[in-house]
């Protein structure tokens, strides 16, 4: 008896939104087996990884802090992904924005609006970093997946050169980092005694703007048409080049702002380890959230929980911090598997089984 994939007559719209929930449930279930395979008590591992990060008010603010850059990057990437513009290099744009904001912070003479200038510089830095693959794609049809990914490494080496060279803190005991930002270059704290800052409110506002653009604007409609039916978009006169530029610049600018939120928020300086994986994790966030701002908000909280859970697992049950990346990969794997069954179903191929039986008897 053989199983085969058969295309469904019509994809289920309801399953499109239920499949991320199925992926999350399968990830939670698989975590029990993973902890057991690593020699840990499954229920203790589950409690440490998924419940410890939610234990009190401070832990919840840390969750929101981690989710902030994921929200910013995720909604920016969703703009491009709606039009099949595959920006995979948000990590590099994140670093470029952090570098641009650091330049403003280190050379600013102060002022209450310094962090506003830093946000603008970060958006500009991330946008310019994304403009390079946009130009190469529209002018010479270069593959934006490869170009954006390669530019991540350029941004990492640029940040490394700066913190080892011209921006290195002379009083930093030879660590590769800049000097700490002055108070006027730091984002305002929202809740006293925590690290949650104004970037969280900016992320919520960005989700709102993203909803209006993606779901209620004519340009957002053009982006969606370009992604779902390229031939129809061309027939309607929608510009493919404009969709590429809008998608790339939106993703780059938002990733750059997320970089500002990191250096002007919890870090307070630029370091060699500024590349924290937010840019890559936000790709999963965008797809788990179904490229919808509300879904991206919830998916960002889930991904932030995985980041914090990895730290908790390292501290309390002696697992490597990279365990969080394993869970991120599991979530993406289960999501892709669940999405497969939106358009296809498993069917028993009885004719193939019969042919196989006849072949054996002959």
- Do 224 and 249 belong to one domain? yes
- Tell me whether residue 132 is in a domain: yes
Q: Angle of helix 90-107 relative to helix 57-82, nearest 10 degrees?
A: 120
* Residue 46 belongs to a domain: no
Is 43 inside any structural domain?
no
Shared domain check, 272 and 257: yes
151-171: b (≥16 Cβ within 10 Å) or e: bbeebbeebbebbeeebbbee
Report the pLDDT value the prediction gives residue 352, as an integer from 0 to 100. 56
Strand partners, 6: 345
Whether 96 and 15 share a structural domain: no
The predicted pLDDT at position 16 comes to 79
Q: What is the pLDDT of residue 278?
A: 95
Query: Is 121 a domain residue?
Result: yes
Residues 243, 103 share a domain: yes
Q: Among residues 205, 87, 193, which one has the least CA distance to residue 147?
A: 87
Q: Percent helix, strand, coil in the chain (nearest 5)?
A: 75, 5, 25
pTM to 2 decimal places? 0.93
- Please tell me whether residues 152 and 269 are part of one structural domain: yes
What pLDDT score does 351 carry?
66
Phi-psi region of 308 (alpha: psi -120 to 50; beta: other; left: phi over 0): alpha
Task: Clarify whether residues 332 and 285 are in a common domain.
Answer: no
- Whether residues 7 and 95 share a domain: the answer is no
Residues 101 and 197 placed together within one structural domain of the fold: yes
pLDDT score at 129: 98
Domain match, 136 and 101 both: yes
In-domain check, residue 298 = yes
| Total domains in the fold of the chain | 2
The answer to whether residue 47 sits within a structural domain is no
115-to-29, 110, 195 alpha-carbon distances in Å: 43, 10, 16
Same domain for 198 and 179? yes
Distance CA 240, CA 138 (A): 9
- How many Å apart are CA 154 and CA 186, to the nearest integer? 27
Could you tell me the CATH number of the domain that includes residue 293?
Answer: 1.10.3470
Domain containing residue 330: 1-31+322-357
Contact 42, 35 (CB under 8 A): yes
Same domain, 238 and 307: yes
- Could you tell me if residue 81 is inside a domain? yes
- In a shared domain, residues 270 and 335: no
Query: What pLDDT does residue 332 have?
Result: 92
pLDDT tens, per residue, the chain with 362 residues: 567 777 878 777 777 788 999 999 999 999 999 999 999 999 999 999 999 999 999 999 999 999 999 999 999 999 999 999 999 999 999 999 999 999 999 988 777 789 899 999 999 999 999 999 999 999 999 999 999 999 999 999 999 999 999 999 998 888 999 999 999 999 999 999 999 999 999 999 999 999 999 999 998 888 888 877 777 777 778 888 899 999 999 999 999 999 999 999 999 999 998 878 999 999 999 999 999 999 999 999 999 999 999 999 999 999 998 899 999 999 999 999 888 888 887 777 666 555 555 555 55
Examine residue 49 and state whether it is found in any structural domain, yes or no.
no
């Amino acid at each position: 008896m053989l199983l085969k994939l058969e295309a469904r007559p019509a994809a289920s719209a309801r399953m499109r939104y239920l499949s991320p929930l199925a992926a999350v449930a399968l990830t939670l279930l698989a975590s029990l087996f993973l902890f057991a395979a690593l020699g840990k008590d499954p229920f203790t591992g589950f409690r440490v990884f998924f419940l410890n990060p939610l234990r009190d008010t401070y832990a919840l603010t840390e969750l929101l802090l981690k989710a902030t850059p994921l929200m910013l990057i995720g909604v920016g990437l969703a703009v491009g992904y709606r039009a099949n513009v595959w920006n995979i290099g948000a990590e590099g744009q994140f670093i470029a924005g952090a570098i641009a904001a650091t330049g403003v912070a280190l050379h600013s003479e102060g002022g209450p609006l310094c962090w506003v200038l830093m946000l603008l510089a970060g958006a500009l830095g991330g946008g310019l970093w994304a403009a390079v693959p946009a130009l190469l794609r529209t002018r010479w049809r270069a593959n934006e997946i490869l170009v954006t990914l390669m530019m991540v490494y350029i941004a990492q080496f640029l940040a490394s050169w700066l913190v080892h060279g011209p921006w290195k803190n002379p009083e930093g005991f030879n660590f590769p980092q800049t000097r700490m930002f002055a108070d006027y270059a730091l984002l305002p704290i929202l809740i006293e005694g925590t690290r949650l800052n104004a970037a969280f409110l900016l992320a919520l506002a960005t989700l709102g703007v993203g909803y209006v653009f993606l779901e209620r604007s004519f340009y957002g409609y053009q982006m969606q048409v370009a992604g779902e039916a390229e031939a129809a978009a061309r027939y309607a006169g929608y510009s493919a080049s404009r969709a590429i530029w809008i998608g790339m610049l939106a993703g780059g600018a938002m990733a750059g702002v997320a970089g500002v939120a990191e250096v002007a928020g919890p870090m307070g300086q630029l370091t060699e380890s500024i590349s924290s994986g937010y840019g890559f994790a936000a790709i999963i966030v965008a797809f788990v959230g179904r490229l919808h701002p509300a879904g991206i908000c919830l998916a960002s909280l889930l991904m932030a929980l995985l980041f914090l859970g990895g730290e908790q697992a390292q501290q309390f049950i002696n697992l490597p911090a990279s365990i969080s990346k394993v869970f991120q990969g599991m979530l993406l794997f289960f999501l892709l598997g669940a999405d497969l069954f939106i358009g296809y179903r498993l069917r028993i191929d009885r004719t193939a089984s019969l042919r196989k039986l006849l072949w054996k008897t002959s």
